[in-house]
Structure 1
Amino acid sequence: MDRKYRAQQWKMLLVTMFCYLFFYTGRHNFGWAAMGMAADLNIPYTTIGWISFSMLIGYSLGQLINGNLADRFSARLMVTLGAYLSIMTNIAISFSSSTTMIMILWACNGYFQSMAWAPGAKLINNWWNERERGKAFGFYTMAAGMSSMLTYLISIVLLQQGYEWRMLFRLPVLLLLISATVFLILARDKPIVKADPDAPVAPVMNWKDQYRMVLRNKKFMIACLGFGFESMARYGLIFWVPVHYLGNNWKDNPGNLWVTFLLPVGMAAGALTFGMLSDSLFRKDRIKAISFGMLVSAVIAVLVYISPSDNLWLGGGLMLLAGFFVYGPQACFWPLSPDLLGSSLTGTGIGFMNMIGYLFAAFGEPLLGYAIDVTGDTNSIFIVIAVLCLLSALSVAAVRRVTGPQSFALSISKE
């Protein structure tokens, strides 16, 4: 491979990672602002839950739309526009005192945030071939995990410094403004290559045909089901772990803050590790890698359930492992889109898969909240999460039993 092109490959991957590294500052900040928002606006936590639900629904709908748009328009412009609109929405929320307005703005923010992931994945897929696809998506997914870690860290510092909840919507997103601008300047949608007049011309599909091809691929649809359960488990940890460890007296137990911080640290490490292992140890067998990760996650969730919550060292270690094994398999889910659908449908496939994931996550939040209400114990969420991880592993394993073409590209070649 040409050394200059190799350098450009890494440049595009790293600049996309750098941009996404700060995207969650405009989304995962909400959980840390929830307690102050509820107290300041005198609203119940049920309302807080519905505000969070609105963002997840907005994000899910946006994934369905923007994933397909990424196959048609400039990923570079879509990611940047989504970042700028999300920043504006966060700042608008920080000046709002109307619950209805905050809910509407947060739902819009979910849509704007969805303009980044699938387009960014499309850009990476344009630059990296199938042989190194797992590694590239592993690095990209690691950036998302590190974004959670960074948002957690910034929120912890701001809260410890005594800043009110409104500042959590103003200050962190300034970092996103910088990274999105750098991405706009440096990123390029795809390599510049000379056209080969003898190369076969791929059929041109409209957006309806693209969605139809996704829906007809049984293997991909079952994989999406497994991703949905994995997303429920992941967001169950992200949203409820702080509630479990912090409670209402986190100022009296500041060490608990750092136990929760180890969760996104594990997520970032797991994403990179699973992405690379899927190409090497598992020999591009994404299904085996995902099933392994989710089965181990189920065991870890049970261990968290039976472990004493006041043991910070044990809790911190289990949170690190939980993040590692629950989030790591996501790096193996994303390559399934080009693997099963073909590169021409990468954006549409990833957007559809992420839409399913966030729909499941949205409805999973009330489920986990109900488990706490029924049992009166936040520890019960880990049993639910264990079941969700097991369902994810079983669903993904079922992909092997489905007959049909491995990818849309393969079916085209046969025709």
Structure 2
Amino acid sequence: MDIQKKFRKEQWKMLFITMFCYLFFYTGRHNFGWAAKGMAAELNISFQQIGWISFSMLMGYALGQLINGNLADRFSPKIMILTGGFLSIICNLSISYATTYTAILILWTLNGYFQSMAWGSGSKLISNWWESHERGKAFGFYTMAAGSSSVLTFFMALLLVQQEQSWRTLFRYPILFLLFALLLFLIIARSHPAIKGYTTEANPSSGNIAQKADWKSSYKTVFQNRNFMIASVAIGFQSMARYGLIFWVPIHFLGNNYKESADNLWLTLFIPVGMAIGAVSFGYISDVLFNKNRSKSIRIGMLCSCAVALLIYVIPAPHHALAAVLMFAAGFFVYGPQANFWTLSPDLLGSQLVGTGIGIMNMFAYVFAAVGEPLFGKIIDYTGDTSNIFLIVAVICTVCACIISFVKPQQINNHE
């Protein structure tokens, strides 16, 4: 019993330190949307070019997910996270001193790749420590950390904008928190219970199984799973909608003047707050309200996102209280369903391919998000109206809801 209590304590410790570390990862990625307005003005580049910079980061992230998810199944998730985090810090600092469009484009692409080394690796670490019957809860908390990271990054960016700091400071100050988190993770985290002398009932030799499977067979198994591929396409549209909000909504609320939008600026904070609460909530929503029917939970969430986005688009200048509610609801419903997507990897593929599956699913998510970035930028440049962001998000959410409907609940539950 004493050993069980100690192991339980270690489980939560590993979950929380991984959450804490990832909590600060977005300070090196979601800071770009806040810097875009000042960057465009200083470097005299269009919003379409800004969109291509964001596209390059997302493509770097997507490529990294394809590669690093599989690496996390084979090597130490802890080392993967630390390496990606420290290299991301270097890229951010370099961008803060860059003076050309090309330099920023290249550095932000590399930053995307380095940032991709964390999510799948963290998922693998958590999967190693938590058995199947509790993984839904663990992944819900982990996804909440990602949503909370957006809140933290938005808050830091808002403070810097309010203090009339240069856009360059957005690539310097926030990442100091990531540095601190990485150092704590280095000291506390362990990739597997076996490192601390524990054995788990489920898949005690999973590491050996993963090593026996070659790269080709691992990828082949994932890509041949029809239901997982449908879900991966669906998360692509969900991610496109998510980044439409995260990246372009700050630009929408900054207005024509970069320094004088104080009242509207703070409204944007409700989006990541909604995302964070939605992430942990949808884990329980799918289990309790929809009896573990992940596809139905995701579909309802995305349809609600569509309705909220249309309301924001139709109401031209709502009262601040109403706007805050709508921003929160948009974040809650557009990001919350993502917690249900991640559980599909162990559900449909098994625990040995968690890293590879999540890596491939996340690759789809970021390829689609990357394609959406220059599209959003082009539409804003062409129409001159940033409110069109919400109309596009509504359409994207509807497409996601339709696609996820093809993943049948009984096909998911058979793997639980």
TM range (shorter): over 0.9
RMSD value, Cα: 2.2
1:342 equivalent to 2:350? Answer yes
Which residue number corresponds to residue 176 of structure 2?
A: 174
Matches within 5 A, 1:333-412: 333-400=341-408
1:316 equivalent to 2:316? Answer no
One of 97, 100, 110 as aligned partner of 2:99: 97
Offset at residue 404 of structure 1 (A): 10
One of 282, 289, 294 as aligned partner of 1:281: 289
Normalising by structure 1, we get a TM-score of 0.93
Are the equivalent residues in 1 in contact too, given 2:240–2:372 (CA < 8 A)?
Answer: yes
Distance 1:103 1:116, change over 3 A: same
**Which deviates more, 90-99 or 263-272?**
90-99
2:13 partner SS: helix
Matches within 5 A, 1:220-299: 220-249=228-257, 251-299=259-307
Distance 1:48 1:376, change over 3 A: closer
Distance 1:350 1:162 in 2: 39
Offset at residue 402 of structure 1 (A): 9.8
Letter in 1 for 2:214: N
Which residue number corresponds to residue 153 of structure 1?
A: 155
**Which deviates more, 122-131 or 69-78?**
122-131
Distance 2:380 2:164 in 1: 29
Distance 1:97 1:239 in 2: 22
Distance 2:43 2:260 in 1: 24
Are the equivalent residues in 2 in contact too, given 1:134–1:284 (CA < 8 A)?
Answer: no
1:13 equivalent to 2:21? Answer no
Distance 1:369 1:42, change over 3 A: closer
Normalising by structure 2, we get a TM-score of 0.93
Count of residue pairs the alignment pairs up:
407
Offset at residue 194 of structure 1 (A): 4.8
1:399 partner SS: coil
Distance 1:141 1:199 in 2: 26
**Which deviates more, 394-403 or 375-384?**
394-403
**Offset from partner CA, 1:205-234 (integer Å, 9 cap, x none):** 101100000000000000001101101110
Distance 1:60 1:209 in 2: 21
One of 184, 188, 191 as aligned partner of 2:190: 188
2:408 partner SS: helix
Letter in 1 for 2:348: L
Are the equivalent residues in 2 in contact too, given 1:218–1:402 (CA < 8 A)?
Answer: no
Are the equivalent residues in 2 in contact too, given 1:141–1:331 (CA < 8 A)?
Answer: yes
Percent identical: 58
Are the equivalent residues in 1 in contact too, given 2:162–2:262 (CA < 8 A)?
Answer: no
2:289 partner SS: coil
Distance 1:128 1:283, change over 3 A: farther
Distance 1:269 1:403, change over 3 A: closer
Distance 1:316 1:194 in 2: 48
Which residue number corresponds to residue 327 of structure 1?
A: 335
**Offset from partner CA, 1:352-400 (integer Å, 9 cap, x none):** 0000010000111222234434544222222221121111111111011
One of 50, 58, 61 as aligned partner of 2:60: 58
Are the equivalent residues in 2 in contact too, given 1:21–1:144 (CA < 8 A)?
Answer: yes
Distance 1:241 1:194 in 2: 47
Which consecutive aligned stretches of 4+ in structure 1 deviate over 6 angstroms post-superposition?
198-201, 401-405
One of 219, 225, 229 as aligned partner of 1:217: 225
**Offset from partner CA, 1:323-379 (integer Å, 9 cap, x none):** 001100011100100000000000000000000010000111222234434544222
Distance 1:307 1:118 in 2: 39
**Offset from partner CA, 1:290-331 (integer Å, 9 cap, x none):** 112111111111111111334222111100000001100011
Offset at residue 245 of structure 1 (A): 2.1
Distance 1:279 1:264 in 2: 23
Which residue number corresponds to residue 22 of structure 1?
A: 24
One of 141, 144, 153 as aligned partner of 1:142: 144
Distance 2:339 2:157 in 1: 26
Distance 1:34 1:253, change over 3 A: closer
Distance 1:232 1:402, change over 3 A: farther
Distance 1:84 1:199 in 2: 32
